[in-house]
């Protein structure tokens, strides 16, 4: 009886050892140290909008490579339906705030963004946007203003963050200001390569790039923006990844939202496909790197998009809109890379900030 129970115990121990082997290798694979986080925001990219692009595309979208999905609740502190300022602030700082507010909590206190926190830990930081870099979404990562329309004050706030690379529109908010300051000159004095064309941005050899490649916003891709978003994102990754400590990069597909406001189905799909092309570039980098967590989400839905008919074989979709503004529905979240599994489930948009902080191992 005694020997039998011992041998039985031995079997348990041995089987435990053997079962450890595959478990351990699997663990090594998924527990790679997270050095870099790339947060991609499709402004106004609700699930119906994303599915319209999936339907139109002959190949699966790049976003479908993400193994983990979740849902984020988007409401603002003062409104069931958020704007991009409150939602951007929620994602950037982990605080619900009032619509229109940038980088401050609901009580009006300035709150640090993940970009500012990453910078203070010695990581490189960057932002890419097809809108003005001072517009609500990117502004939420670098500024603290009670009104999202204070573009020139937002530009001033950006100057003191230490951000390494930013590429987007908004040259006029730096260099053609009411206060006559020329912040483009100030940026040059601070060591930035200030460039106003995408070609010169892509050719820059600097580790600090201020790419102000449109006076205010870039045009829609259907109106001539070309590959600005994927190219700018690739360039930002090239530069930021030179920092072996790691980096934080925010990439925004800004104009999915504008197509939703305009109830323009063709533009809505095209801007989403442009964002997905950018996702392809980002995921290729993350896959090779192995230390990069990629999170892809939206700040809110725009247009009340409904897919009323379509055909997967012909790649055709019929889109109806119920609104010319944002709606309240929760938005999808996609994650790729080490730590991606933490983004499964249903949670507040503010939790995305907390999950990123935890991924970096920063104290909260
Ligand atoms: Mg935006
Ligand atoms: Zn909007």
Architecture per CATH, 33-360 = 3-Layer(aba) Sandwich (3.40)
Å from CA of 152 to ligand 2 middle? 20
Å from CA of 111 to ligand 2 middle? 23
- Is 156 buried (19+), middle (13-18) or exposed (0-12) by CB count in 10 A? buried
Q: Residue 363 and residue 103: Cα distance in Å, rounded? A: 19
Å from CA of 297 to ligand 2 middle? 15
Å from CA of 290 to ligand 2 middle? 34
pLDDT tops 60 at residue 142: yes
pLDDT tops 60 at residue 18: no
Q: Among 2-11, 80-89, 261-270, 308-317, where is mean pLDDT lowest?
A: 2-11
Instruction: Give the mean model confidence (pLDDT) for residues 120-135.
Output: 98
Counting Cα atoms < 13 Å in the Cβ hemisphere of 103 gives 26
Instruction: Give the mean model confidence (pLDDT) for residues 355-359.
Output: 98
Q: Label residue 176 left, alpha or beta by phi (over 0 means left) and psi (-120 to 50 means alpha).
A: beta
Under the banding of pLDDT at 50, 70 and 90, the label for residue 330 is very high
pLDDT tops 50 at residue 308: yes
Share of the chain above pLDDT 90, in %: 91
**Among all ligands shown, which has an atom nearest to the Cα of 251?**
1
Å from CA of 91 to ligand 2 middle? 16
Q: Give the residue ranges of DSSP H helices in the chain.
A: 2-30, 47-56, 84-93, 114-120, 136-142, 151-159, 171-175, 183-189, 198-203, 228-240, 256-261, 265-289, 350-360
For 256-304, what is each residue's pLDDT tens digit?
999 999 999 999 999 999 999 999 999 999 999 999 999 999 999 999 9
Instruction: Give the mean model confidence (pLDDT) for residues 183-190.
Output: 98
For 209-247, what is each residue's pLDDT tens digit?
999 999 999 999 999 999 999 999 999 999 999 999 999
Å from CA of 149 to ligand 2 middle? 14
Residues lining ion ligand 2 (Cβ < 5 A) are 257
Under the banding of pLDDT at 50, 70 and 90, the label for residue 30 is low
**Among all ligands shown, which has an atom nearest to the Cα of 88?**
1
Q: 3-class DSSP state for residue 146?
A: coil
Under the banding of pLDDT at 50, 70 and 90, the label for residue 127 is very high
Å from CA of 15 to ligand 1 middle? 54
Give the active site residues: 84
**Among all ligands shown, which has an atom nearest to the Cα of 275?**
1
Å from CA of 261 to ligand 2 middle? 6
**Among all ligands shown, which has an atom nearest to the Cα of 43?**
1
Q: Are 146 and 108 in contact (CB under 8 A)?
A: yes
pLDDT computed for residue 138 by the predictor: 98
What letter would DSSP give residue 108? S
Under the banding of pLDDT at 50, 70 and 90, the label for residue 10 is very low
Q: Residue 275 and residue 332: Cα distance in Å, rounded? A: 15
pLDDT computed for residue 20 by the predictor: 42
**Among all ligands shown, which has an atom nearest to the Cα of 259?**
2
Please choose, from the candidates 36, 68, 35, 38, the residue with its C-alpha nearest in 3D space to the C-alpha of residue 294. 38
Structure tokens at 150: 């204070």
* Domain ranges across the chain: 33-360
pLDDT tops 50 at residue 1: no
Under the banding of pLDDT at 50, 70 and 90, the label for residue 357 is very high
For 58-105, what is each residue's pLDDT tens digit?
999 999 999 999 999 999 999 999 999 999 999 999 999 999 999 999
pLDDT computed for residue 19 by the predictor: 42
């Amino acid at each position: 009886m005694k020997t039998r129970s011992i041998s039985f115990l031995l079997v348990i121990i041995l089987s435990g050892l053997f079962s450890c082997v595959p478990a351990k290798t699997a663990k090594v694979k998924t527990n790679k140290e997270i050095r870099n986080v790339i947060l991609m925001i499709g402004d106004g990219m609700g699930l119906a909008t994303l599915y319209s692009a999936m339907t139109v595309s002959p190949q699966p979208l790049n976003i479908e490579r993400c193994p983990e999905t979740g849902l984020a609740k988007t409401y603002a502190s003062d409104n069931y339906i958020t704007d991009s300022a409150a939602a951007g602030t929620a994602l950037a700082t982990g605080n619900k705030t009032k619509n229109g507010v940038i980088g401050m909590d609901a009580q009006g206190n300035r709150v640090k963004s993940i970009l500012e926190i990453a910078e203070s830990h010695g990581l490189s930081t960057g932002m890419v946007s097809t809108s003005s870099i001072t517009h609500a979404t990117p502004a939420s990562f670098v500024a603290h203003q009670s009104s999202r329309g204070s573009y020139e004050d937002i530009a001033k706030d950006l100057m003191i963050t230490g951000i390494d690379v930013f590429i987007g529109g908004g040259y006029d908010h730096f260099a053609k200001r009411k206060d006559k300051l020329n912040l483009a000159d100030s940026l040059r004095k601070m060591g930035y390569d200030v460039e106003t064309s995408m070609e010169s941005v892509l050719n820059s050899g600097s580790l600090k790039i201020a790419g102000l490649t449109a006076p205010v916003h870039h045009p829609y891709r259907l109106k001539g923006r070309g590959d600005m978003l994927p190219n700018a994102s690739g360039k930002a990754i090239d530069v930021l990844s030179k920092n072996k400590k790691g980096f934080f990069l925010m990439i925004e597909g800004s104009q999915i939202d504008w197509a939703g406001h305009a109830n323009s189905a063709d533009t809505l799909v095209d801007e989403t496909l442009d964002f997905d092309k950018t996702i392809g570039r980002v995921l290729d980098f993350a896959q090779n790197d192995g230390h990069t967590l990629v999170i892809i989400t939206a700040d809110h839905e725009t247009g009340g998009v409904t897919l009323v008919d379509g055909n997967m074989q012909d790649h055709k979709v019929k889109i109806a809109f119920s609104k010319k503004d944002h709606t309240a529905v929760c938005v999808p979240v996609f994650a790729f890379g080490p730590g991606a599994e933490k983004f499964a489930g249903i949670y507040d948009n503010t939790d995305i900030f907390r999950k990123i902080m935890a991924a970096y191992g920063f104290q909260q």
